[in-house]
Structure 1
Amino acid sequence: MLQSKIKTIFLSISAIILAGSMIAYPKESFEASIRGLNMWWEIVFPSLLPFFIVSEMLIGFGVVKFIGVLLEPLMRPLFRVPGVGGFVWAMGMASGFPAGAKLTTRLRQEGQLTQIEAERLVSFTNSSNPLFIFGAVAVGFFHNPHLGVILALAHYLGNICVGLMMRFYGRETPDKAKDKQGKFILRSAFSALHQTRINDNRPIGKLLGDAVSSSIQTLLMVGGFIILFSVINKLLFHLHITAALAKGFDLALSSLSFPDMLSIPFISGLFEITMGSDLTSRVGDATLLQQAIITSFILGFSGFSVQAQVASILAQTDIRFKPFFFARIAQGIFASSFAFILWKPIYVRFYQTEQPSNAIPVSFFEEGTWMHTLYHKIIELGPIITILSLSLYVLLLYFQSVRTPKKP
């Protein structure tokens, strides 16, 4: 009872301080809101919406169940999750935060995952997509596409390590893979695909409309969190709370021979990965290796902004947030460790000297290439896609309200 009252007082005081700070710093709050809105408006919404809609349709048509049966022999022994986890992992890696949480929640609602399996799966299927790591962080902030190789390898290897670690989480669940499929696994997969499509008896138009509505609702929530945490991060800086918290990390960074100037970017990155990565790239006293290690931790930890988005999505089910939070800390540690381990054998060997013939290719991420052009095209066309999608969403809501019979 006492703990509940303390929590109520703490949350109330925090909300009052936040409201007062926005009144005291209206210009800074407005600029931070615009910055968060631009990020959502130009990049997050147009890049995530197609993945969300297609994912919903694949689930409805039974394709995800088909993939799940095929990947069961791989995902079950490695990560102790059903084969559908392979689809969630791939889509989460391709589209970025918070796609893994969205798809895990959807599969949990359909009963394709148990609670423990869902908590294992969501812990390692939320990651930054390659376009963000190479386009925004490596090229946009560091102006060094080669650094993206280290950041991406560290990030995704950290993901795998978290998945292997989380396989020991929770009690053993019934092994669904014991269905003796043998060489007839392909036939079983097709059977599961057909049965799932039959069970979901929605017409294609209805399914597509539901996919669009659900996806846009999720992205509106994501946009709200991005704007909110952009403002919170800015206010914490102006209230000197970030600097006060950074002093607590100065000793830890000094023990690792890291410059104290990295503490403020590190704290900022704990709240929001984009700002933290940007500030880290501007610390001139740090070596590129030190910046890569800090940035890898920030990308792995994901920031409280992304974690709040995931917590909001998971709240729709019985999936607990605590395992996901501890998995983020673990991935931050794994990713920063891999950045340190891979620095000499990859970055120093291939990119700090004349590149040998077997150098790792990153030319398609450099300026003028199709990946670089794609990133800037998303920024250029993003607002148009967002406006058209929101207009379509409003029309869907209108027609849905018209068709719904009014209660007498």
Structure 2
Amino acid sequence: MVRYLIRPSVIPAWTAVLIALLLALYPSAGLEASVRGLSIWWQVLFPALFPFFVISELLLGFGIVHFFGKLLDPLMRPLFRLPGIGGFVFTMGYASGYPVGARLTAQLWEQRLISRAEGERLVAFTTTSDPIFLIGAVSVGFFHNAALAPLLAAAHYGGGLIVGLIMRFHDRKAPASYQTTSGSKAEKRKSRIAEAIRAMHQARLLDGRTIGALLQDAIQAALKLMIVVGGLVVVFSVIMELLTKAGAIHILSEAISGMLGAAGLPPVLSYAVVNGLFEVTLGAKAAGAAGGAGLIHQAAIAAFILSWGGLSVHAQIASLLSRTDIRYGSFLIARLLHGCIALVLVYLLWSRLGPLV
């Protein structure tokens, strides 16, 4: 019987039971955390993400994504082994932050524009923080040092590109979704532009919806997604608070403190790492507040947290990918890799981009 109780398949069930018990023990703390998470969703995430979700739906309906797909294929294919439409996802993902890249990747898969392997490569390096959060919230708000923004941006976004280059070797035997045109350079350029316009026109005809219907569908789809995102933010806010009340966060912090000390990093940053494992905002804020750790180490941990994304973001990504055959495991590995690369880049780039403090 014990053997059945500890099977991996029943671990989520026991986790849910534990959270329910903690919620019964600390109802006030759970309520306060729930209200706090709802406030973050309504005041920060909803106004920041909702317009991008609506616009992305409209661009797909108008065929703009197909246009850029044909146009950017010669660039994306050799660098990342992705079709040109990956360039659109890359741009939108880096501009608007997580989880927009995963949302667009799932949409492209649903329209059979990318394969599973290409979807796994694409979501692995287009899940990043948006520049407004990195500069305004982290650099200025948490660290009170705007000069830190170029370093964090170079480490975070540069690390993402490196992950993309590494992921081109992922599932190497998988076939490409479609092939590029052949011929001379001039012919390729002309045919590429003509094909891009033709692809946009055909996509619009295949969609067939009027502008009014397309706008209505885009708003409805964006609202459904925002509700899912908000629910996950509230749930993880409550879980974090309950684990803190139960002392689990302190125990985990002590364990990570020893690991940081062994790696030559200040143990005082363990609290930031623990918070960042669950939620990126709390982790980055704790890294900025870790006085006495040294700014370079604080920035390195913040870069790791931004690139890892936090389990709250991971849950959003997993939810978006649940209706596709894109595997979460490769995404998880890519997040860990991105975090480690970003951390190392902070130390490598500190002499050139680090603030003069």
1:265 aligns with 2:266: no
1:183 is matched with 189
Quote the offset at 1:317 in angstroms: 1.1
Q: Say which SS state the counterpart of residue 176 (structure 1) adopts.
A: coil
TM alignment of 1:249-398, pairs within 5 A: 249-348=256-355, 351-352=356-357
The one-letter code of the counterpart of 1:182 is K
Distance 1:4 1:189, change over 3 A: farther
User: Matches of 1:207 and 1:76 in 2, distance apart?
Assistant: 31
Quote the offset at 1:56 in angstroms: 0.7
Distance 1:287 1:39, change over 3 A: same
User: Matches of 2:122 and 2:166 in 1, distance apart?
Assistant: 11
Q: Which runs of 4+ in 1 moved over 3 A?
A: 2-5
1:213 aligned to which of 205, 209, 220: 220
2:164 is matched with 163
Q: Say which SS state the counterpart of residue 318 (structure 1) adopts.
A: coil
Q: Is the 8 A contact 2:148 2:354 kept in 1?
A: yes
Quote the offset at 1:329 in angstroms: 0.2
User: Matches of 2:277 and 2:295 in 1, distance apart?
Assistant: 20
The one-letter code of the counterpart of 1:106 is Q
Q: Say which SS state the counterpart of residue 278 (structure 1) adopts.
A: helix
1:152 is matched with 153
Unaligned runs of 5+ residues in structure 2 are none
2:119 is matched with 118
Q: Say which SS state the counterpart of residue 178 (structure 1) adopts.
A: coil
Q: Say which SS state the counterpart of residue 52 (structure 2) adopts.
A: helix
1:45 is matched with 46
Distance 1:175 1:46, change over 3 A: closer
1:84 is matched with 85
Quote the offset at 1:175 in angstroms: 6.5
Q: Is the 8 A contact 1:225 1:308 kept in 2?
A: yes
- Percent identity between the two aligned chains: 42
The one-letter code of the counterpart of 1:187 is A
- 1:124-166 deviation line (CA, Å, top 9, x unaligned): 1111000001111111111111112211111100110110010
User: Matches of 2:301 and 2:160 in 1, distance apart?
Assistant: 17
Q: Say which SS state the counterpart of residue 322 (structure 1) adopts.
A: helix
TM alignment of 1:51-66, pairs within 5 A: 51-66=52-67
Quote the offset at 1:5 in angstroms: 6.8
Q: Say which SS state the counterpart of residue 274 (structure 1) adopts.
A: helix
User: Matches of 2:9 and 2:65 in 1, distance apart?
Assistant: 42
The one-letter code of the counterpart of 1:294 is I
Q: Say which SS state the counterpart of residue 78 (structure 1) adopts.
A: helix
1:174 aligns with 2:176: yes
The one-letter code of the counterpart of 2:16 is A
User: Matches of 2:52 and 2:278 in 1, distance apart?
Assistant: 25
Quote the offset at 1:259 in angstroms: 2.3
User: Matches of 2:216 and 2:87 in 1, distance apart?
Assistant: 26
User: Matches of 1:193 and 1:261 in 2, distance apart?
Assistant: 54
- 1:42-93 deviation line (CA, Å, top 9, x unaligned): 1101111111111111111111000011100000000001000000011011
Q: Say which SS state the counterpart of residue 146 (structure 2) adopts.
A: coil
Q: Is the 8 A contact 1:100 1:126 kept in 2?
A: yes
Q: Is the 8 A contact 2:115 2:176 kept in 1?
A: no
Quote the offset at 1:102 in angstroms: 0.4
1:231 is matched with 238
Q: Is the 8 A contact 2:123 2:331 kept in 1?
A: yes
Q: Say which SS state the counterpart of residue 174 (structure 1) adopts.
A: coil
Q: Say which SS state the counterpart of residue 101 (structure 1) adopts.
A: helix
User: Matches of 2:148 and 2:290 in 1, distance apart?
Assistant: 16
Distance 1:9 1:176, change over 3 A: closer
2:132 is matched with 131
Quote the offset at 1:4 in angstroms: 9.4
User: Matches of 2:180 and 2:6 in 1, distance apart?
Assistant: 48
- 1:94-121 deviation line (CA, Å, top 9, x unaligned): 1111000100000100010011111110
The one-letter code of the counterpart of 2:167 is M
User: Matches of 1:12 and 1:175 in 2, distance apart?
Assistant: 38
User: Matches of 1:5 and 1:20 in 2, distance apart?
Assistant: 19
- 1:236-273 deviation line (CA, Å, top 9, x unaligned): 12211112122222222112332222112201100001
Distance 1:8 1:323, change over 3 A: closer
Quote the offset at 1:283 in angstroms: 1.4
User: Matches of 1:61 and 1:4 in 2, distance apart?
Assistant: 52
**Worse-matched range after superposition: 308-317 or 142-151:** 142-151
